[in-house]
Chain A
Amino acid sequence: MTLVLIGLNHKTAPVALREKLAALAPEPALAYQQLREIKEIQEALFYATCNRVEILFASSDPEPAIPQVKHLLVAQGEQADADAIHQALYVYREGEAVNHLFQVACGLDSMVMGEPQVLGQIKAAYRQGTTQQATGPLLNRLLHKTFSVAKKVRSETGIGGLAVSISYAAVELARKIFGSLSDKTGLLIGAGEMAELAVEHLKRHGVARLIVANRTLERGLELAGRFGGEAVALAELPEQLLKADIVISSTGAPELILTKDQVKGVMRRRKQRPLFLIDIAVPRDLDPAINDLDNVYLYNIDDLQGVIQANLHHRQEEAVKAQRIIDVETQKFLQWRETLAVTPTIVALVDKAKQICQNELKRTLPQLGPLTPEQQKALEVLAESIALKLLHDPFLYLKRNHHPKRRSQDIDLTRRLFNLDVDRNEDLA
């Protein structure tokens, strides 16, 4: 069985392309239906988050399966996008696939490093996968491992704190400007992961109204729906600025979307009611000179990090720490998987049986009084042959040529029945 991960993310594909593939997400049953039709695949997991669409599968014969899965993904887009999607897809096998999944779950692969939402999304996708009965022992094991790695990374490095603390700092600053947020309106320009996170925080801290201005109205509507807000087109921005108090901008636009003069005009019409602007886009959406205006407070992502005194250096350090944990855990997982092969399991069982015989003989022989070497030898042979005869049928069963998915299940069960992986039990706990 080989693990393969195929997908595309924000590093390889533009938003427009990702959006088309993400359309698969609302219909997981359909996606799994299509995956099931590929015979070579024994286990599969499909997930789509804002910034990535990936399919992870285990196959005993991966090479013919890979083009079929690619085709499945390409077929989601329009004909014109086929080449672009092909270009954007990456394929990871085995260790790389495991490592990548861990990175995604820990937020290392996210636009805002360490953001916690992606873990929740993968958990939800895994739940769907299990209800679709698409996952098997290998992926189940891998996903459980993934969740425990993500937990470990979160608790042992500061990486998770960063994204949370950025939106925490945004809320904190808004409080210092506005006092209570209960009669304030938040305006979201663009709808990335980080913006969502910040909005979630604002919402939780009682912002009265939310407006989402997005380039594509559809995505805006979706996000607005989720937070009980209102979606508007990007062209209405100056009008919407009259209503908003807290603005979070995170579009992927290469040029500025608000200039100082625009905001100056808005402030006059607002009668100078304070405006708090947060620019988390890279490159920047908002003209830095806007901060010179009275009653306007403009913060970009670095300023917010200044608030929490976490600089880029610190971030990278945490990322390195997280990566180290991920690498170690990947190795552990691969080691565990080795054991899923039949032969090592049989060897381990024989070893265990022989060990038990040795131990029991050592305890019993002294009580039998003086024995000749022949007698002692006969006893040893007796004990071992009882043990091995007892194991003979299980061995035959394991060696029989089962369906691969079934076989790994059986091996997994055998290893658990005979407690062959002592460290594993603590892992699952």
Chain B
Amino acid sequence: MDVWLLSLALASYGVATFIWLGYVWFQKETLYLAGGWTIALGWLGHTLALLVETVATGFFPVGSFSAACSLFSWTLTTAFLILNWRYPVKVLGVLAAPMAALLLSGSLLLPRPPEIAPILQSFWLTFHIAAALLGNATFALAFLGGILYLVQERQLKAKKFGFFYRRLPSLETLDALNYYCINIGFILLTIAIISGSLYAQYVLGSFWQWDPKETMTLIAWLFYAGLLHERLVKGWRGRRAALMAITGFLVLMVTFVGADFWQRSYHRFDTLGRLP
């Protein structure tokens, strides 16, 4: 049942990608609307799948890399739909939809552990992971917006007006997207770190273990904190903010995937729940 629903979601994200490509090419408003609704349909299927799985296993599916990818994809579409509703940056879907599809197909390809370690069946851990992934999702939108910004800025600076010049939104729109997303993402990441360290204190007896994932997240957190601070004080915006959004997100992604390569990390997905 949930695999069927997940496939529906994946198909929707895939179709939405093509609709959005059509929108970028033809600039037809109906295509933009269709793209939004297709993603919303996929999101609905995705949400149902997560609910079905939660009911079946008795707990929210966060306990494996596959589940994390699926949840990341879900948080990305959630964040995207909210953004698209409140602050539409119309072409963003052309990057967000394939990214969601990629994450979800990764989730479907990766093996799923048959059972979940009892230690993971805690509200706090779920909260920690959900906050972290929602944070990742908003940073992902800032990252995608940053790419669009750099493309548009390049054209305006070089005074060469190609295919994208008409199709991309204004620099200020993209810069505002960067600012909103990084602000919200920063709050979510902070919540994730605090909730995680409280939970660690509760189960491991220590707030901070200098686990590789913790260290790298801290680096990313400091990086974003620096960006936000400098933006307020010195006005780091535009190209620099876009570059930092891209760099920060890449650090986060290394954190997301990379912890698995450190043998001693207890944040590894394949051994999640086996505490040191």
Contact = CB atoms under 8 A, between A and B. Distances in A.
A179 B170 CA distance: 5
A63 interface: no
Contacts of B226: none
B10 to A, nearest CB: 34
A179 B236 contact: no
A299 B156 CA distance: 9
B240 A179 contact: no
A274 B235 contact: no
Interface in A255-297: 268, 270-274, 291, 294-295, 297
Given A176-B156, A294-B240, A297-B156, A272 B235 contact: yes
A307 interface: yes
Nearest to B240: A294
A274 B240 CA distance: 13
* Range of interface residues on A (Cβ < 8 Å): 20 to 34
B217 interface: no
Contacts of A272: 234-238
Most buried by A among B159, B165, B236: B159
Contacts of A291: 157
Contacts of A274: 171-172, 238
Contacts of A295: 237-239
A383 interface: no
Most buried by B among A178, A295, A306: A295
A178 B172 contact: yes
Contacts of A303: 159
A175 interface: yes
A273 B170 contact: no
B234 A179 contact: no
A177 interface: yes
A267 to B, nearest CB: 8
A176 B238 contact: no
Contacts of B161: 306-307
Interface string A303-341: 100110000000000000000000000000000000000
A175 B240 CA distance: 21
Interface in B150-193: 152, 156-157, 159, 161, 165, 169-173
A177 B240 contact: no
A178 B170 contact: yes
B92 to A, nearest CB: 15
Contacts of A178: 170-172
A91 interface: no
A175 B173 CA distance: 10
Contacts of B170: 175-179
A176 B235 contact: no
Contacts of B235: 270-273
A268 B237 CA distance: 12
Nearest to B174: A179
A82 interface: no
B237 A177 contact: no
A294 B171 contact: no
A176 B237 CA distance: 16
A274 B153 CA distance: 11
Interface string A175-198: 111110000000000000000000
Contacts of A177: 156, 170-172
Contacts of A306: 159, 161
Contacts of B173: 179
B231 to A, nearest CB: 9
Interface in B27-75: none
Contacts of B157: 291, 297
Interface of A: 173, 175-179, 268, 270-274, 291, 294-295, 297, 299, 303, 306-307
28 contacts: A173-B156, A176-B156, A176-B165, A176-B171, A177-B156, A177-B171, A177-B172, A178-B171, A178-B172, A179-B170, A179-B172, A271-B237, A272-B234, A272-B237, A272-B238, A273-B235, A273-B237, A274-B171, A274-B172, A294-B238, A294-B239, A294-B240, A295-B237, A295-B239, A297-B157, A299-B159, A303-B159, A306-B161
Interface of B: 152, 156-157, 159, 161, 165, 169-173, 234-240
Which are the 10 A-B pairs with shortest beta-carbon distances? A271-B235, A272-B235, A179-B170, A295-B238, A179-B172, A179-B173, A303-B159, A178-B172, A177-B171, A272-B237
Given A271-B234, A271-B235, 20 more contacts: A173-B156, A176-B152, A176-B156, A177-B171, A177-B172, A178-B171, A178-B172, A179-B172, A179-B173, A271-B237, A272-B234, A272-B235, A272-B238, A274-B172, A294-B238, A295-B238, A297-B156, A297-B157, A299-B159, A303-B159
